[in-house]
Structure 1
Amino acid sequence: MTGAAQLIIDFHAHVLHPAVYARTINRNVVSGFGARAMEERPTPDSPRWPLFSKMIIAEVQIADMDARGISHAVIATSTVSQSTFFADAGLAAELDRQANEGIAGWVRAHPTRFTGTCTLPLQDMQRALAELDYATRTLGLRIVNLPAAIGGKYLGEAYFEPLWDAISRLGLVAIIHPDGIKDPAFQVHSLWNAIGQGIEETRAMASLIYEGMLDRHPDVGIVMAHAGGYLPTYIARLDRNATAHPVSMRNISRKPSEYLRNFYYDTVTYDPFVIDIVRQRIGADRIVFGSDYPFGDDDPLALIGACNFDPATYAAITGTTAARLIAGTTQKISGQNLGGE
């Protein structure tokens, strides 16, 4: 990647692995966990092919990037349809390995267009660390694609400490993108998507703050999908608990609002007002452009234009900040063993 200041970098673009998708789609939130059975292997004559092809054929995604003026994309598994959360640890490890190798293949074929992410079999921390070792050292993937929780355990809990230690030690970046709220009530009116993702992002951030992970690993880079859900706009209630419920402060050294700058926030909000709240409350230097490709707007950069940023801020949000995050992940990867199998 050269000329980073002139790049338009999409930090929120999705891919799928056809074989893994076939084994997971009807176990995941987008299909109602199979209640609305979906085609496992769409073909060119399928109604789903126009969308599906954008996530399995790199050249199709690149053509859309070119049409939209996007130079580079951080590609991540669309985990609302291809999460392995339901599987036992062995199967999850097998499927996540396939998915990660698929993403690495896109990056090898088009290194100037894509930066890859990896998913991990979080059901078993030793397997997760082993896959992180393989993904970083062998596949060269730089960013970890994490759900909000696994098995009811949210990301700040002690179970995840070995993972955060490895991410911090290797200078990696994490993207937190929920794989869908599991409560079946949220299937009504597609609330799992409309409000459930924001709820899960809020819970993940609150967990990371309140469990003290950000005190233990203050320099870890974390990008929140969908501008962090509701927490940036609702943070005053957490601050109120510092005095109203002081037990909530037992693991942390600052007010909850003072941790908001420990995160970066992508722009997948569909509302310039929300982006402006993040700018005012947290800072424009913590915002990165995201499109939610191929599910988002046809012209995702128009949303950034509607925010009326000055040219320097626009350039930072659409490219410079993301380029710095990506460049920082290249340090300290080779030659380290993360543990596990």
Structure 2
Amino acid sequence: MAELFKCTPALRSESGTSGSTPLRSDGTVVDIHCHVLCQQTEQLVQQLGVSGEAGTMRFASEASRQAAQAQRQAIHSQLTNVETRLADMDRAGIDLQVLSPAPNQYYYGTDPDVGRQLAARVNQTVAEMSQHPSGRFLGLGTVPLQHPKLAVEVLRHAVKELGLRGVEIGTHVAGKDLDTLALEAFFAEAQSLGALVFLHPAGFSEGQRLGQYFLNNIIGNPLESTVAVSRLVFSGLFERMPDLKMCVAHGGGYLAAYPGRMDHAWKVRHECHACLKHPPSQSLKKLYFDTLVYSPNQLAHLLQEYGPERLLLGSDYPYDMGDPAARMHIEALPNLTVSDRQAILGGNALRLLEVFKNEF
């Protein structure tokens, strides 16, 4: 097996310039959950009249809409400027960021030609940032999932031609669930390529009761992931594709809290094991989860449920629902071995993304 890459990132010095410094003794720290905004795509969307509104805004109150607008302005530089991003990474103790599109740049409602154009621009932006001379970025692209055959082509191009490590996808495709047979070829291609599929919600699709108090993000995002992954599990996808690499944002939503109920239903209900040979919890343990759960107790539960080999540091940079202290929360976990801590901080991500020394 090829040797996994041990990076020596170009860290910013006190003078503000970039310089190569030796890797810290505690290993490479990788943030799996970091967003970027493709400005060229935003411009094309405006020209074409395509809706780029995030799902969390669909049912949002006026107060939440105003707050979202203020946040977009406040974090614009972080979403688009590499130097701003590098400085923030240094402050947070992050060596590598895995870049993924802002969730409002899925555009799953577009026709094939527009969908291809928008995905191409997003992927090119992520690829260019990933090639920054600092060597501190890896990239995940996007695909037009609403057109499954085209999604396979775009995925293949993103990985083989642009050098991206996988793609970020939403939890549904313009209202259609991910367990549809039409998407089987997409997941099969991701498995064949060894590409990571990063599952990231954009609010609950049926959020009529979640408009006030920002609930369609607070409750809606983890609920949406829970529904999407549960459907994939009971469809038998992870049994049919045991090597599919999927990471679920926000600690997997509520999946870690109640897997026993899923297993019980599988035992007693025919419709729950019609497509699934083994208990749902076995499929859940094939997934990866980021650590964005905020609470040390919740993080410890996630660790207990799935083990250190399935957790990846994630901060949701640069949004206000992100956690700039994500690394500190992992380092503060009690009774964690040095090797397990290093695995969660970065080793698992490097292995999952197949980052090898001979690539650099």
Q: 2-side partners of 1:247 and 1:328: how far apart? A: 41
Structure 1 residue 179, shift from structure 2 partner: 2.7
Q: Which residue of structure 1 aligns with residue 243 of structure 2? A: 219
**TM-score if structure 1 supplies the norm length?**
0.87
CA RMSD of aligned residues (A): 2.6
Percent identity between matched residues is 28
Q: 2-side partners of 1:259 and 1:218: how far apart? A: 9
**How many equivalent residue pairs?**
325
Q: Is the 8 A contact 1:171 1:328 kept in 2?
A: no
**Does 1:198 pair with 2:222?**
yes
- 183-192 or 284-293, larger mean C-alpha shift: 183-192
Q: Pick the aligned partner of 1:279 from 278, 288, 303.
A: 303
1:184-216 alpha-carbon deviations (Å, 9 max, x no partner): 423322112101111111112112211111111
Q: Which residue of structure 2 aligns with residue 92 of structure 1? A: 115
Q: Is the 8 A contact 2:169 2:197 kept in 1?
A: yes
1:8 counterpart letter in structure 2: V
**Does 1:259 pair with 2:283?**
yes
Alignment of 1:151-190 (within 5 A): 151-185=174-208, 186-190=210-214
1:3 counterpart letter in structure 2: K
1:272 counterpart letter in structure 2: P
Q: Pick the aligned partner of 1:131 from 154, 158, 167.
A: 154
4+ residue segments displaced more than 6 Å:
none
Structure 1 residue 74, shift from structure 2 partner: 0.5
Structure 1 SS opposite 2:35: strand
Q: 2-side partners of 1:326 and 1:243: how far apart? A: 35
Q: Is the 8 A contact 1:173 1:325 kept in 2?
A: yes
Q: Is the 8 A contact 1:225 1:266 kept in 2?
A: yes
Structure 1 residue 94, shift from structure 2 partner: 1.4
- 132-141 or 157-166, larger mean C-alpha shift: 132-141
**Does 1:316 pair with 2:343?**
yes
Q: 2-side partners of 1:59 and 1:301: how far apart? A: 21
**Does 1:3 pair with 2:6?**
yes
Q: Which residue of structure 2 aligns with residue 13 of structure 1? A: 34
Structure 1 residue 297, shift from structure 2 partner: 2.5
Q: 1-side partners of 2:71 and 2:156: how far apart? A: 39
Structure 1 residue 25, shift from structure 2 partner: 6.9
Q: Is the 8 A contact 1:27 1:33 kept in 2?
A: no
Q: Report the CA distance shift for 1:329/1:179 in structure 2 as closer, same or farther (over 3 A).
A: farther
1:274 counterpart letter in structure 2: Q
Q: 2-side partners of 1:215 and 1:125: how far apart? A: 21
Structure 2 SS opposite 1:223: strand
Alignment of 1:32-111 (within 5 A): 32=58, 48-79=72-103, 81-110=104-133
1:168-195 alpha-carbon deviations (Å, 9 max, x no partner): 1111111111133233423322112101
Structure 2 SS opposite 1:115: strand
Q: 1-side partners of 2:283 and 2:225: how far apart? A: 15
**Unaligned segments of structure 2, at least 5 residues:** 8-25
Structure 1 SS opposite 2:140: strand
Q: Is the 8 A contact 1:14 1:78 kept in 2?
A: yes
Structure 1 residue 38, shift from structure 2 partner: 7.2
Q: Which residue of structure 1 aligns with residue 331 of structure 2? A: 305
- 81-90 or 58-67, larger mean C-alpha shift: 81-90
Q: Is the 8 A contact 2:226 2:252 kept in 1?
A: yes
Structure 1 residue 304, shift from structure 2 partner: 1.3
**Unaligned segments of structure 1, at least 5 residues:** 331-341
Q: Which residue of structure 1 aligns with residue 270 of structure 2? A: 246
Q: Which residue of structure 1 aligns with residue 19 of structure 2? A: none
**TM-score if structure 2 supplies the norm length?**
0.83
Q: Is the 8 A contact 1:27 1:86 kept in 2?
A: no
Q: Pick the aligned partner of 1:142 from 165, 173, 182.
A: 165
Q: 1-side partners of 2:182 and 2:354: how far apart? A: 29
Q: Report the CA distance shift for 1:247/1:25 in structure 2 as closer, same or farther (over 3 A).
A: closer
Q: Is the 8 A contact 2:32 2:98 kept in 1?
A: yes
Q: 2-side partners of 1:116 and 1:104: how far apart? A: 6
Q: 1-side partners of 2:248 and 2:346: how far apart? A: 17
- 132-141 or 82-91, larger mean C-alpha shift: 82-91
Q: 2-side partners of 1:317 and 1:110: how far apart? A: 26
Q: 1-side partners of 2:51 and 2:76: how far apart? A: 12
Structure 1 SS opposite 2:354: helix
1:82 counterpart letter in structure 2: Q
Structure 1 residue 75, shift from structure 2 partner: 0.5
